[in-house]
Amino acid sequence: PAFRRFQRGYYHVYLPALAADWLQGPYLYKLYQHYRFLEGQIAILYVCGFASSVLFGLVSSSLVDWLGRKKSCVLFSLTYSICCLVKLSRDYLVLVVGRVLGGLSTALLFSAFEAWYVHEHVERYDFPTEWIAVTFSRAAFWNNVVAVGAGGTADFFAEWLGLGPVAPFMVSIPLLVLSGVFAVKNWDENYGKKRTFSKTCSDGLKCLLSDHRILLLGTIQALFESIIYIFIFLWTPVLDPHGAPLGIVFSSFMAASMLGSSLYRLAVSKRYHLQPV
């Protein structure tokens, strides 16, 4: 029961943050198009977001360890809320700043929350280490469910209510506030080992160069991610002229992703014994 309570406390903060992130997926390109920006200008906005995510990703682990995991999660809620608010502006440079803040927020989302959980699980509560996988497996399942729901919700506010492509970004803000408030009220602070940025980078580089399989795996992952990012940029301008409901299409993508995850778990189960080699 204590473990279940601890899990719920984590999900109460993490799942609203994920929901806010997914809500912004279906209508980002459509919003920039609505503001009359050209395809090349929109591409630059996307690249600014991806580049800032890469740059902040390099320092996010050190930043989170230094600032504190709980404070970093609250910082995520703040920066992502500002990122959503600036979507109301039609000024190109303001939107670029918003994309940079979005990159910082993404880096925090995929580092601070899990780091906080692992530390609390092991250090404060001393639960069995193998239970960590149970929590993250359930979080992955609910992440998919939330993503499917987010597409439908975005479509409801943008199309059904006629509030336009900026509406999903405004709906994200209360969820981000909720996540930050739950973190402030219910979480204790924890810190990581304070290492210098150069030490973190050198350790990562040694790990890459010490085993060629790690470098190969990273290369394959990078190529796969590049395909995904091209797809993310292109699917809206390809489908939108045909009147496709973007939120519902997004939900369909997420449902297909959820199905793929389920099929993978089934394939590697004891029943079928299909192992990646």
| Residue pLDDT, tens place only, 221-273 | 999 999 999 999 999 999 999 999 999 999 999 999 999 888 888 888 888 87
State the chain's maximal CA–CA distance in angstroms: 56
CB of 230 closer than 8 Å to CB of 100: no
Confidence bin at 65 (pLDDT 50/70/90): confident
pLDDT of residue 275: 77
Per-residue model confidence as pLDDT tens digits over 190-224: 998 877 767 777 888 888 888 889 989 989 999 99
Q: What's the pLDDT at 248?
A: 96
Alpha helices for the chain (secondary structure H): 2-23, 28-34, 39-67, 69-85, 92-109, 112-119, 131-155, 167-186, 197-210, 212-239, 246-267
Judged against a pLDDT cut of 90, whether residue 128 lies above it is answered with yes
pLDDT tens for each residue of 72-85:
999 999 999 999 99
Continuous segment of H or E residues that includes residue 86: none
| Start-to-end Cα distance in the chain | 38
Residue carrying structure tokens 């939330």: 146
Identify the pLDDT of residue 205. 84
In this prediction, residues 164-170 reach a mean pLDDT of 96
Q: For position 274, what pLDDT does the model report? A: 82
Q: Residue 190: left (phi > 0), alpha (psi -120 to 50), or beta?
A: beta
The domain ranges of the chain are 1-264
199/261 Cα distance (integer angstroms): 35
Which pLDDT score, from 0 to 100, does residue 20 have? 97
pLDDT of residue 192: 82
* CA quadruple 79, 83, 84, 85: dihedral sign: positive
Residue type, 154: A
Mean of pLDDT over the chain: 92
The CATH class that applies to domain 1-264 reads mainly alpha
- Taking 80 as the threshold, does the pLDDT of residue 92 lie above it? yes
Q: How confident is the model at residue 181 (pLDDT cuts 50, 70, 90)?
A: very high
For residues 137 and 177, the model is more confident at 177
